Amino acid sequence: MRTGLSSRSAVPSVLVALVLAGWAGSTAAAAGPWDLASVLPFTGELPGLAGTRIREVGRLWAVDAETFVVWARVEGSLAGWVLLGFRLGKAEVVAVEKVSSEARDGAVLAVRRQESGMGARLGQGVVAGRGLVYLQEKPLEAVPAGGTNPVYVWDAQGLRRLLGPGDEIPFRGTMYRCESVTLGHANAGGTVLLAFTAASPARVGGLAVHDGKELRGVMTEDQPLPGTSDARFKDSALGCGTVRLEEAVLADDGTVVLVGYVKSAGATRKGILAVGETFTEMLVAGGEPCPVGGGGKVRSCPFKLFDARSVGRVVAGFTCREPVAAVWDRTRWTAVDAGSLGVEQAVLVSREGTAVLWQGSAEREERRGGEVRRLHAEGWGVFVGDRSRDLRLDGHNPTGFDFVVRGGGAFDLLLQYGWGVQGLPDGFLDGREPAAGVRMAPTFPTSAGGSVSLGDVLAWLDDEVALVVVRGPGFAGPPVSPGIYRMTRPSAS
């Protein structure tokens, strides 16, 4: 699946694989063969959409094996990339690809199609939650706010509105009337984070979550933060700019981690804070002694939150004497070794460990013979223990990656090289042994005689059942008609 950083929002019971122990160090994912059963052939017209055929598919979000949405490039009565929904044995157009920032009127949503290398959490227009797929139209920006566009949910019952202007959000016995909302991401349990602004009873910003059944508030600017008597969140202060609630992270333990200002007892501090149901903890704040050595104090800006899995597993960026990326393990911050590169994005490889996959770059000027040249360097690494391992494969840096999540909170990583179009093989980073570096990506032998690569797994329904794409010539074995298939281990058949 060529989705770059985008599968951060996958859901264990729906989209996440409990990766088999036999994957580690092996090109065969398990003693096979796995069985293939056709779910959606590409050779004929789509059921429910006469005259429309699929040419290729991209990301897929599944509710179950018969209910899912998938990006597809189609031809015929429809043309181009559309987000197709499949339910009750028929196809329907849920959204079309958003390709410009121009306003558009229409009954179908216009959603940005994520491609390789795009951010994991920020800007997603489609998110998989617990038994639901969440959708929202957003502008074409790096960190877009949803504004007055409602958030919708989709499942076997079809598309329906969840939250938008005029709707109510409950929090501590108060009903906040929504003015704008932005769809966030889902944590490993399938709970989805939403940032909102309210028009009443006060014009404030806040965060809410939806667990597939219930919408509830987490924090608002006009009420004390959990575990405090008077501390309140602020989104701005003089001299250091505005922070964005849209950039908050919902960790797997339910904690919300974000950059923000906290005002208490007449003082205002900016930093990275963790907010739970009964507590608020400032993990690092401006003015404190630098927690990673080197002397000096933490500057009040800028801060950058990269990823969080719990209140004790956070990776973030801040500035002491120099900018630094660091990982928090509940007791201390440890600087991520990136050499001379500045870390631009980073994710935690495990819910329990502190291994970090990072990408960084650096610019410098070099003078030769009176001519000044501007040089650019880029690198990817996995930080384990106290140092980083280079992730280049045959001299090539990764161009994107996908998470594959298994039991116990650990992650495996499918690394893409050459943007998926240069014929370079995918790499595989075992989340249990990240220090071992990149290996060959696993494959799944099938009863049809060929094999399915890990990169062609669209969604895991559990540890023994997946939806996969067979692309015809790309299938390593006897001819199998192109389409989406249900791939099942014989023991689960």
Residue 220: domain span: 6-492
d(CA 227, CA 231) in angstroms, rounded, equals 9
Q: Looking at the domain assignment, is residue 350 inside a domain?
A: yes
Q: Looking at the domain assignment, is residue 395 inside a domain?
A: yes
Residue appearing with tokens 């006469």: 50
d(CA 209, CA 314) in angstroms, rounded, equals 20
Contact 425, 443 (CB under 8 A): no
Q: Looking at the domain assignment, is residue 1 inside a domain?
A: no
Q: Looking at the domain assignment, is residue 477 inside a domain?
A: yes
pLDDT in tens, 126-177: 999 999 999 999 888 777 888 899 999 999 999 999 999 999 999 999 999 9
Q: Looking at the domain assignment, is residue 117 inside a domain?
A: yes
d(CA 314, CA 216) in angstroms, rounded, equals 24
Total Cβ atoms within 10 A of residue 487: 25
Predicted TM-score (pTM) above 0.85 = yes
Q: Is 403 a residue whose pLDDT tops 80?
A: no
Q: Looking at the domain assignment, is residue 188 inside a domain?
A: yes
Q: Looking at the domain assignment, is residue 307 inside a domain?
A: yes
pLDDT in tens, 171-215: 999 999 999 999 999 998 899 999 999 999 999 999 999 999 999
Average pLDDT, the chain: 84
Q: Looking at the domain assignment, is residue 224 inside a domain?
A: yes
Q: Can you point out the beta strands (E) in 65-155?
A: 67-76, 80-87, 90-97, 109-111, 126-128, 133-135, 151-155
pLDDT in tens, 414-465: 888 877 667 788 888 888 888 888 888 888 899 888 888 888 888 888 878 9
Burial of 16 (0-12, 13-18, 19+ CB in 10 A): buried
What is the tally of structural domains in the chain?
1
